[in-house]
């Protein structure tokens, strides 16, 4: 079988294994078979078409993880549209911006969140969405809203064959939409099949939220193989004490998440009391896994195979590394990001787009099946993100500095720019600064990231504060909650009468780091 | 000082020291939102619970590690007291 679209994967499995459980939601104690998932997604598709959704349109998805949101997502794909999932816990104004930015035709929103979304739309230049239908699926109520954004926005982006758009932190202060087509997603899914050889008996975790690129493996690889997907809700996914028994009781066989939650599980999950014999594979991605904590994890879970998967949202996974069964006791440097996935090509280049000699450091460029189409409606950003070689092949510039080490395994050395990873999420320090500048008392804001033993990275904001009274950290944090996703809120704040400048009158980040 | 007051003071001290260094203690009130106010993230919440278990000799159930039980100092005190019976 060769699938042309992501929903073909579901349809094939629904024909082959209609009664097998496709998705389970342990928190609500509900599950859905392949047949029912496919049938309900058809119903969502019909509702969307009635609401005016046409192939090539975008449809927003705004809800916590549930069987209802999985059904919605496949209904959107079946309608020929691309889904645009947003963080249900991010400020509604940020989500309203995203939906307007990519001119969604409709939005499927959890009823409990719909009021805030409509209010947030009122702050934007476009018309508020109109409610059309309620859908209730497996304990979750969703509302279908129709928007006028598609008519009111000038869309220049070719929208054929789009599967989804994931918004990531943007250095200019506005999130930017990474566009993937069915073909780029399937290239990655098929690579996972060949590399990990999933079986019908596998039970995959779905830990990452759907707006996060790790969810692509979670959603489509098990459904392609007729396996079962076990949903881990956003709240449960952050609570090690509750999560540790769920992984055991649900007999999860393939786990995938950022290192952050695995570190919390080891430290606070009391994992020694549970039976993890079903677990056969552990994948992690999104940030560096410190060796000390990785060793502690392997002591709890000695038997599975471990893979470090690497790739920005723009490329899906593009390199991978399987950990040795034993971690040498004297090892302290993190493991490599590994070798290029078989469906992609990579090279290491200097700042003038020239290949560096093997073993020297440079920026990692990626080309191939799994690479994005571009950034939504940002032709200049898209052009700048790619390098075209003499044969007109597009290479995505990852911004990650690497070096080729032993056996062709790449070692990750750092970033070219001001992006950091926090709990696996991309955080552009510039986006935090833009949000802080919105505060009336802030005249200058500079944000830096510092290495932190416990959490990996600590974000510190330096502010030039105009009020004579000392600012309250608590009120400042509340201001951040209203303006930024939680994972972007600075850990610490410092107040300076003026920020240090370089000779060209730019903020001197180096000096700020030394001040710390 | 009643038990309740000393509990409050100990919890407040811990939060000030660990998560709000440099803040004016008067700003942290009994009903200041901690989780929804961006003061406690998932990592700091588990740290706080580890401290509470240690300091007050109570055990938190997995389902209690959330906004309903931990979002303000008042709620935390209430949760601890109901455990101490």
DSSP A16-46: H-TTSEEEEETTTTEEEEHHHHHHHHHHHHH
To which H or E segment does residue A509 belong?
helix A509-515
| Contact call for residues A416 and A348 (beta carbons, < 8 A) | no
- Look at residue A281 in the predicted model and tell me its pLDDT: 98
**And the tokens for A394?**
């597009």
- Look at residue A454 in the predicted model and tell me its pLDDT: 73
CB A245 to CB B39 under 8 A?
no
- Look at residue B85 in the predicted model and tell me its pLDDT: 75
> What are the per-10-residue average pLDDT scores of chain A (516 residues)?
88 98 96 97 95 94 96 97 95 93 94 90 76 80 86 73 94 92 97 98 97 97 98 93 96 96 92 96 93 93 97 97 94 93 97 93 96 95 96 96 93 90 90 92 92 84 84 92 93 90 83 86
CB A239 to CB B65 under 8 A?
yes
**Main-chain dihedrals φ then ψ at residue A253, nearest 5 degrees:** -105, -25
Interval B49-70: pLDDT, tens? 999 999 999 998 888 888 999 9
Nearest to A474 among B20, B21, B65 (CB): B20
- Look at residue A506 in the predicted model and tell me its pLDDT: 81
- Look at residue B2 in the predicted model and tell me its pLDDT: 62
Nearest chain B CA: its distance from A259 CA (Å): 13
Nearest to B27 among A474, A487, A492 (CB): A474
Q: Is A467 on the interface with B (CB under 8 A)?
A: no
DSSP code per residue over A97-148:
HHHHHTT-SEEEEEHHHHHHHHHHHTTSSSPPPEEEEEEEETTEEEEEEE-S
Helices (H) then strands (E): counts for chain B? 4, 0
Q: Which residue ranges form the domains of chain A, and what is each CATH number? A: 6-234 (3.40.50.12780), 313-415 (2.30.38.10), 420-515 (3.30.300.30)
ipTM of the complex: 0.88
Residue A334 CB: number of other CB atoms within 10 A?
16
Nearest to A477 among B37, B42, B63 (CB): B37
- Look at residue A361 in the predicted model and tell me its pLDDT: 94
CB A241 to CB B46 under 8 A?
yes
**How far, rounded to the nearest angstrom, does the alpha carbon of residue A39 sit from its chain's CA centroid?**
28
Distances (CA, A) of A102 to A72, A302, A327, A375: 18, 45, 46, 10
Note the maximum CA span of chain A: 70
CB A473 to CB B20 under 8 A?
yes
CB B24 to CB A470 under 8 A?
yes
Residues of chain B with pLDDT under 70: 1-3
- Look at residue A1 in the predicted model and tell me its pLDDT: 53
Q: How far apart are the C-alpha atoms of A489 and A506, rounded to whole Å?
A: 23
Residues forming beta bridges with residue A420, ordered by sequence position: A427
CB B41 to CB A480 under 8 A?
no
Nearest chain A CA: its distance from B4 CA (Å): 23
Q: Is A502 on the interface with B (CB under 8 A)?
A: no
Architecture of domain B3-84: Orthogonal Bundle (1.10)
Nearest chain A CA: its distance from B13 CA (Å): 15
Residue A318 CB: number of other CB atoms within 10 A?
30
Looking at A237-340, which runs of residues are DSSP E strands? 254-257, 281-285, 305-310, 319-322, 339-340
Using DSSP bridges, classify how beta strands A410-415 and A176-181 pair: parallel, antiparallel or unpaired: unpaired
Which chain A residues are closer than 8 Å to B43 by Cβ? 260, 264, 454-455
Nearest chain B CA: its distance from A486 CA (Å): 7
Interval A479-501: pLDDT, tens? 999 999 999 999 999 998 889 98
Nearest chain B CA: its distance from A477 CA (Å): 5
CB B27 to CB A475 under 8 A?
yes
Which chain B residues are closer than 8 Å to A242 by Cβ? 62-63, 65
Nearest chain A CA: its distance from B2 CA (Å): 27
CB A486 to CB B41 under 8 A?
yes
- Look at residue B1 in the predicted model and tell me its pLDDT: 52
CB B43 to CB A454 under 8 A?
yes
- Look at residue A304 in the predicted model and tell me its pLDDT: 98
- Look at residue A333 in the predicted model and tell me its pLDDT: 87
CB B37 to CB A454 under 8 A?
no
Which chain A residues are closer than 8 Å to B23 by Cβ? 472-474
Chain B CA closest to residue A267: B46
Distances (CA, A) of B43 to A299, A322, A409, A498, B19: 22, 28, 32, 32, 11
- For CA atoms A466, A470, A474, A477, the dihedral sign is positive
Domain boundary assignment for chain B: 3-84
Chain B CA closest to residue A235: B66
Chain A CA closest to residue B50: A268
Residues forming beta bridges with residue A366, ordered by sequence position: A346, A396
Nearest chain A CA: its distance from B67 CA (Å): 10
- Look at residue A369 in the predicted model and tell me its pLDDT: 94
The model's pTM? 0.88
């Amino acid at each position: 079988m060769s699938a042309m679209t992501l929903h073909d994967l579901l349809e094939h499995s629904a024909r082959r294994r209609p009664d097998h459980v496709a998705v389970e939601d342990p928190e609500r104690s509900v599950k859905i078979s392949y047949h029912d998932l496919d049938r309900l997604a058809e119903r969502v598709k019909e509702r969307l078409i009635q609401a005016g959704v046409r192939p090539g349109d975008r449809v927003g998805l705004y809800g916590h993880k549930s069987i209802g949101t999985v059904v919605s997502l496949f209904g959107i794909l079946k309608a020929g549209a691309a889904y645009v999932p947003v963080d249900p816990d991010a400020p509604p104004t940020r989500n309203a911006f995203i939906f307007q930015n990519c001119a969604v035709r409709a939005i499927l929103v959890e009823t409990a969140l719909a009021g805030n979304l409509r209010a947030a739309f009122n702050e934007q230049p476009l018309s508020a969405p109109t409610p059309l239908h309620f859908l209730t699926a497996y304990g979750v109520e969703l509302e279908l809203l129709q928007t006028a954004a598609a008519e009111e926005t000038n869309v220049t982006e070719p929208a054929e064959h789009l599967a989804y758009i994931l918004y990531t932190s943007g250095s200019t202060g506005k999130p930017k939409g990474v566009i993937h087509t069915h073909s780029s997603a399937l290239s990655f899914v098929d690579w996972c099949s060949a590399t990990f050889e999933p079986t019908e008996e596998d039970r995959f975790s779905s830990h990452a939220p759907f707006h996060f690129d790790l969810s692509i493996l979670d959603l489509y690889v098990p459904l392609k193989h007729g396996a079962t997907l076990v949903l881990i809700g956003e709240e449960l996914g952050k609570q090690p004490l509750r999560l540790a028994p769920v992984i055991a009781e649900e007999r999860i066989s393939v786990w995938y998440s950022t290192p952050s939650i695995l570190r919390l599980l080891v430290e606070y999950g009391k994992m020694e009391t549970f039976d993890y014999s079903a677990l056969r594979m552990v994948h992690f991605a999104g940030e560096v896994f410190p060796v000390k904590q990785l060793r502690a994890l392997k002591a709890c879970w000695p038997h599975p195979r471990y893979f470090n998967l690497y790739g920005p949202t723009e490329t899906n996974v593009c390199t991978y590394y399987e950990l040795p069964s034993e971690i040498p006791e004297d090892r302290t440097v993190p493991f490599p990001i590994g070798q290029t996935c078989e469906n992609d090509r990579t090279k290491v280049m200097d700042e003038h787009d020239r290949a560096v000699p093997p073993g020297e450091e440079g920026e990692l460029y990626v080309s191939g099946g799994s690479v994005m189409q571009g950034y939504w409606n940002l032709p200049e950003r898209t052009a700048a993100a790619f390098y075209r070689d003499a044969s007109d092949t597009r290479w995505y510039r990852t911004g990650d500095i690497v070096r080729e080490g032993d056996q062709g395994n790449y070692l990750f050395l750092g970033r070219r720019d001001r992006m950091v990873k926090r709990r696996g999420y991309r955080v552009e320090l510039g986006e935090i600064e833009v949000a802080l500048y919105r505060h009336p008392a802030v005249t200058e804001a500079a944000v830096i990231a510092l290495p932190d033993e416990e959490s990996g990275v600590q974000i510190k904001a330096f502010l030039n504060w105009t009020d004579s009274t000392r600012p309250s950290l608590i009120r400042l944090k509340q201001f951040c909650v209203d303006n930024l996703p939680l994972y972007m809120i600075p850990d610490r704040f410092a107040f300076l009468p003026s920020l240090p400048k370089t000779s060209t009158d730019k903020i001197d980040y180096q000096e700020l780091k030394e001040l710390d | 000082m009643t038990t309740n007051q000393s509990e409050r003071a100990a919890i407040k001290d811990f939060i000030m020291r660990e998560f709000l260094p440099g803040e004016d203690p008067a700003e942290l009130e009994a009903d200041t939102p901690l989780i929804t106010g961006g003061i406690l993230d998932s990592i700091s919440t588990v740290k706080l619970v580890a401290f509470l278990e240690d300091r007050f000799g109570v055990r938190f159930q997995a389902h209690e590690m959330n906004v309903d039980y931990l979002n303000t100092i008042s709620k935390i005190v209430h949760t601890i007291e109901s455990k101490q019976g």
